[in-house]
Amino acid sequence: MKHSTRGGMYHVRRGRGRPLLLIHGLGGTWRSWVPVLDALAREREVIALDLPGHGETPMIADISVPRLADAVTAFLEANDLREVDMVGSSMGARLVLELARRGVGGRVVSLDPGGFWRGWETVFFHRSIQASIKLVRALQPVMPLITHSDIGRTVLFPQFSPRPWDLPADTALAEMRSFAASPAFDPLLESLVKGARQQGAPRGTTKEVVIGWGRQDRICLPRQARRAVWLFQDASFKWFDDCGHFPHWDQPRETVRLVLDWTG
């Protein structure tokens, strides 16, 4: 695996073939993709990055989804990846949709994108995530014990997965560590809730886009999926059964098939 900071963002490269960019969600890092990284790297050169204010990438001023889109665009330019296919999760899924709307990059896979909540759903998202991050920060001293226990994951992760006991322990620990350490978490959460809504893309204005959604998503509720598809009128759609907010955690094989088939 190769590590680099070229283009202003820390990123790893693994595999060979046509490049494929992976963009994590709020509070995460490139390690969020570990459950699918090896399988994708058998077919593609996978580039998984840390967004600004996450992992090893420095914070930027006035951080927001549009500012992240600017930063990713600059990263793609610096690394000669203007037409790269992209996969995003959660906030990263909204980010790849925004990049597609701007005409940046190639084919797009957007997994449970945030930002399509309305009314009480916005309050639900905001308060539930605020409560979760407070708990995660308070539990940092014992987080290794919690995440490496089936019972601990069952208690801590029902918001993320319908089968939290099955989540990979090392990935769960890495995610909880990065959530607590990210200086971007709080300002981005406020931006997601109080900032401008995601703009859409009329039919015929974007390249190939597919939106995937877990039927048991308790963060970005499944009812929000129809709004995302309505706003991005060229998009195809796929449900993931027995799946929460992270299809690449709950359904890694199905996620890999979707990504490789769609971008292949």
Distance CA 99, CA 106 (A): 10
Strands of the chain, DSSP E? 2-4, 11-14, 19-23, 45-49, 85-89, 108-111, 209-214, 236-240
Decide if 78 contacts 59 (C-beta within 8 A): no
Neighbours of 162 (CB within 10 A): 16
DSSP letter (8 states) at residue 87: E
Give the SS3 label for residue 211.
strand
What pLDDT score was predicted for residue 202?
86
What residues are paired with 213 via a beta bridge? 239
Mean pLDDT per 10-residue run, the chain (264 residues)? 92 96 98 98 97 97 95 96 97 97 95 96 95 96 97 95 96 96 97 90 87 98 96 96 98 98 92
CATH for 2-263 is: 3.40.50.1820
Neighbour-count burial of 163, counting CB atoms closer than 10 A to its CB (0-12 exposed, 13-18 middle, 19+ buried)? middle
- pLDDT of amino acid 201: 87
**Per the structure block, which two tokens stand in for 131?**
């409560």
Q: What are phi and psi of 170, to 5 degrees?
A: -65, -40
How is the chain split into domains, by residue range? 2-263
Q: Name residues whose C-beta falls within 8 Å of residue 7's C-beta, 6 or more positions apart in sequence.
A: 74, 75, 76, 77, 78, 79
Query: In the 8-state DSSP scheme, what is residue 164?
Result: G
